[in-house]
Chains A and B, each alone.
Chain A
């Protein structure tokens, strides 16, 4: 059938717009008279603003206003009003609220001028005096002063210990204990955070915001500024990457809206690259792992403990220590999760939050155990493979991890591995092979979609979700086209508009399973209506037929058993004198059924590295990633998602580190030449394979989301490979050359 698209490697529907520059991002919307706002960032970590002198800046012609806490009107007085849909427990940060400084680079003023250049210049003339208080920003120094990592937050599972770890560990024949840590990371999407707020004649706002959830931004503006949602429309048609940074409304949205409402003018605020380090980051963790096993490699005891940072005002929680129960058949698991309040901005979900870091430590520890047992690391994992989550005893909806191990190992050539470290030398380089497992949640959340089929044969589908580069437009188009049997060109997908039906924030790898299913269902409703109308036509062969009796393809309805009996859509629309068919659908996850299962994606990751032990240089030369992601909806976009995840894993393993100077409590490498992400020259050969099994518990499409799973486990696989190469165990990321240089060299 020409209209079968799901599971095929289809080009992106927005590919052309992106290579020609036709795709417009938030800061690219323009209207005459638009004002430009530049944010001034604070320079201390804690204290108060004594004085802000804006007089010199205001004297410049073309500078309209400088907003500070002194002239910002009283807004919503309830902290609660600032709570967005993704806010962790606590009191959200309120920009320009008072003189208090709670973290370094806190926005302290907004300069608004006729032009960007003018606003930038005027910003250099604003003088801020501070009263400095002693800050605390270093996690390692304050572990004794921790609080429990608990709290209500969507997607967060509080730690849950089972059995008796202490006893089992004490009795274990073989044990390891190790501490792992890693640096803070910032999302740094290529597009800076920006908000363009158009002030309409009737006082309503049309807001272009860089966001993963237009409805979240709309909700925030409406609550904070006391505006009816009818007066706020938020759009975000294209997002230049986000990776979690745009889950919550960031302060530029507040700033631009404030200025627009106060000045009754349209205002754009775009952050600078250094300011991309001024809000949430992936929190630093310090993790302790204890594993106990029999000499034969049966794991008897697991303890996973993590200390993580949060701000003084919110309690950011993520799933760091919960993963071992999903992977290993062990009855005694201890999970401890503690938070330390520091004078930093609240951490923020960043691609595979908690999983990327927690699984790094767990899977590095598994490698250490394998070596202690003198056992192949893959064999150790297979030996302790579990078909159920040990913490609740429920089975997995689908789990093809065993097959991922098998196929991944074959593709990589794992059986040829000599387990001995330092066993593969070539000139100055040692080659190392390592592996690790990945796991992530397969979530489905409520979503609404609408569809409108027209007599000209075109279909529009819409939902207020986002496409942050993940391919949502394409997936929606494919699903709609296949469900109704239309060519891709006749389908238009709409998203990123708060006027569209409800969808959750685009995050946590839930969109394909949620919005995708809603699109499928709403298109079925259209199909049903078309069939019903077809049945009403005189002498119709489809009188009384049900959807199960027919096939929708190539723009017609055909008898399932006899394709020669068919009617085209245009025939039906014309005969029935219909101009449009409009339908809506609300997808509610089948909680009753879903609750019976654990729903996860998995991966088996194999890595090859070359290490120069004298100079410490590490080069990742090969990655094989085998993915358990349910049914794959589009091989091209899916491949890109996993590839991106792998690159993130490499970048986390080797490069990324936002380092804070604790004298100032300030991230000090705040631009792209000093904050290193992997570049072209760091890229290895990446081989991705999917071990598909449709998961109809997670979604009617059989899909499990795959935005995060590609990253999980990669850093551990690389770290384990480095150990295999040189015999030196490094327990902190990134694996920089100073750590990788061995003692035994030149």
Chain B
């Protein structure tokens, strides 16, 4: 049964008319056209769909949109400022060439932002732990760690 739900995404309110149990990821991608968060498994196993919930990174594929309505959601699209200046984590990912195919990148960027929100100067080990459920198949892990280090210094 469809219901009107108000979501707070990237600082703006959005009204969507959906089944309240729809996974948030589908609503972000299909209703709001936010393709930053990626569908990589739909089972909370790969991390590609991460968004920030009140500043903490979590997968969005297994949370009902209704429950997400209580939180401030930030997606990849909401990181850069209004002038298009990249967030420091995004900038560091570009400079350290942390992108290959780019599909897992949303999750890695969001998890890194979430990590730096909690720990502004993480050690390599803490970065590995903080990103440890973001699966990357191209194998850019080492570059991601460097990028997070770089971002933490910016």
Q: Which residues of A line the B interface, CB within 8 A?
A: 11-12, 14-21, 23-25, 27-28, 30, 116-117, 188-192, 238-243, 270, 272-273, 468-471, 636-637, 639-640, 643-648, 671-673, 677-681, 683, 686
Given the complex, which residues of A lie within 8 Å of B100, measured CB to CB?
241, 469-471, 640, 644
Q: Does B77 contact A (CB under 8 A)?
A: yes
Whether the Cβ atoms of B41 and A672 lie closer than 8 Å is: yes
Query: Given the complex of chains A and B, what is the CA–CA distance between A677 and B41 in angstroms?
Result: 14
Q: Which residue of A lies closest to B99 (CB)?
A: A18
- Nearest CB of B to A20, in Å: 6
Provide the bound-state CA to CA distance between A14 and B102, in Å.
9
Check B103 against A190 for contact (C-beta < 8 Å). Answer: yes
Within the complex, what minimum Cβ distance (angstroms) separates A558 from chain B? 32
Closest to A647 in B: B139
What chain B residues lie within 8 Å of A11 (beta carbons)? 94-95, 97
Q: In the assembled complex, which residues on chain A have CB atoms less than 8 Å from the CB atom of B105?
A: 18-19
- Picked from A19, A191, A270, the residue with its CB within 8 Å of the CB of B101 is A191
Which of B75, B97, B132, B145 has most A Cβ within 10 Å?
Answer: B97
B141 and A12 contact, CB distance less than 8 A:
no
Identify 17 residue pairs between A and B in the complex whose beta-carbon atoms are under 8 Å apart, listed by A's number. Answer: A11-B94, A11-B97, A15-B97, A16-B90, A18-B102, A24-B35, A117-B22, A241-B137, A469-B101, A469-B103, A640-B97, A640-B138, A643-B140, A648-B139, A672-B135, A678-B139, A680-B128
The answer to whether A680 touches B94, judged by C-beta atoms less than 8 angstroms apart, is no
- Are B45 and A671 within 8 A (Cβ)? yes
CB pair A240–B42 under 8 Å, yes or no, is no
Q: Which of B40-81 contact A (CB under 8 A)?
A: 40-43, 45-46, 48, 75-77, 79-80
Residue of chain A at shortest CB distance from B97: A636
Check A190–B104 contact: CB distance below 8 A. Answer: yes
Within 8 A of A (CB), among B90-138: 90, 93-95, 97, 99-106, 109, 127-129, 131-138
Cβ B135 vs Cβ A190 within 8 A: yes
Chain B: interface residue total (CB-CB under 8 A): 57
Establish whether residues B43 and A671, one from each chain, have CB atoms under 8 Å apart when the complex forms: yes
Say yes or no: B77 contacts A21, CB within 8 Å. yes
CA distance A24 to B40 in the complex (A): 14
Please, which residues of chain B bring their CB within 8 A of the CB of A17? 102
Contact A190 B136 (CB under 8 A): yes
- Once bound together, how far apart are the Cα atoms of A215 and B11, in whole Å? 43
Q: CB distance A20 to B90 under 8 Å? A: yes
A637 — which chain B residues lie within 8 A by C-beta? 97
Contact of B8 with A by CB under 8 A? no
Q: State A545–B76 Cα separation when bound (angstroms).
A: 52
Chain B residue nearest to A21 in the complex (CB)? B36
Contact A683 to B138, CB < 8 A, known contacts A19-B99, A20-B76, A672-B41: no
8 tightest A-B CB contacts, nearest first: A469-B101, A647-B139, A240-B103, A21-B36, A18-B102, A644-B139, A469-B100, A15-B94
- Cβ of B132: which chain A residues have Cβ within 8 Å of it? 679-681
Tell me the nearest residue of chain A to B131, going by C-beta: A680
C-alpha spacing A189/B75, complex, angstroms:
22
- In the assembled complex, B149 has its CB within 8 A of some CB on chain A: no
Contact A189 B41 (CB under 8 A): no
Contact A190 B143 (CB under 8 A): no
Min CB gap A424→B, angstroms:
23
Q: A21 to B99, Cβ gap below 8 A?
A: no
The listed residue (B34, B43, B94, B131) touching A19 by CB distance below 8 A is: B94
B101 cross-chain contacts in A, Cβ below 8 A: 189-191, 238-242, 468-469
Q: Is B41 a contact partner of A671 (Cβ separation < 8 A)? A: yes
Given A27-B39, A680-B131, A190–B48 Cβ distance below 8 Å? Answer: yes
Residue of B nearest to A191 (CB): B103
CB of B86 closer than 8 Å to a CB of A: yes
- Collect the chain B residues with CB atoms within 8 Å of residue A648's CB: 139
What B residues does A471 contact at CB under 8 A?
100
Do A14 and B36 touch (CB < 8 A)? no
Most buried by A among B100, B134, B142, B144: B100
By beta carbon, the residue of chain B nearest A711 is B139
Which of B26, B90, B136 contacts A117, CB < 8 Å?
Answer: B26
Q: Smallest CB-CB separation from A636: which chain B residue?
A: B97
Cβ-neighbour of B97 out of A12, A25, A673 (below 8 A): A12
The reply to whether A241 and B138 contact each other, CB–CB distance below 8 Å, is yes
Complex Cα gap A117–B20 (Å): 12
Query: Which residue, B19, B46, B80, B138, has most C-beta atoms of chain A within 10 A?
Result: B138
5 additional A-B pairs beyond A20-B80, A239-B101, beta carbons within 8 Å, are A16-B90, A21-B76, A25-B103, A680-B131, A683-B142
Bound-state CA distance A681–B127 (Å) is 10
